[in-house]
Structure 1
């Protein structure tokens, strides 16, 4: 049997093994440090990107808040305008009712009638106070009121009061109810 002779001393073998282990540890530590540096760079890059997004979002939020403030002013203007339009519409509706009442007032007007008071109600009602110079005026006024009654525009037309004065004039109060 052949046994080989090892001329390397035991100590030298230990040193060689230690050198191999040191080399492996050194290589492993370089790999570990390299991986750590790459991970650190990735984390720093990620933090920078998030910081940029955060700043951009902050700018966007500020811009949107400014837009909201501008839109709030527009909204208040629009609400005011809408309220004014509703008010104008209500005025126009009441004018339509007044226009019809004015047409009826023109129809019943007679020559010797002196109107001393006129009141328009909300639903198109009308109250007339006046004086007739004589019986002919009162008769003509009554005939014209009967013509309007025949048109059925009003639910009720009433002579509330008819008073005769000593000098022959008549004070009348007419009430037109829709």
Structure 2
């Protein structure tokens, strides 16, 4: 039995709206008030605000290793089922390298990936989506064509892996 004094918690102030735990994907409803959260030593309380899209890559031991991994997006839908974000791409090494900005917009169960400016050629595809607050996903279509992928619902999230979406061209990813 764990002694009650050994239990740890924090009471962060959450602004109004929905927030998703980075690791467990559980939703927390903020109300401009402190909310008591468990804070065991093995869990860092990091949350994503609903309505945001967070780009990621699998971390490597060096920036070159990280850049050699596929992209993924964490889509944290708000109460209306919408989210937005941006992704900046460059070579990660030189000061005057070409770059590219991508706009990321999710609504009505559709994700639009739109190159906005720049000429940098992304070498890796978008391979994975993690959807928070978007239930009932059975499959995916990219630019109107159903694609083979793995869809796994896990508690409060849906993970879609096995995508090969080219980030150098506009794409429409529709959830089926």
With structure 1 as the length reference, what TM-score do the two structures score? 0.25
With structure 2 as the length reference, what TM-score do the two structures score? 0.25
Question: Which structure shows the higher strand fraction?
Answer: 2
Instruction: Tell me: higher relative CO, structure 1 or 2? Use CA pairs within 8 A at least 6 residues apart.
Output: 2
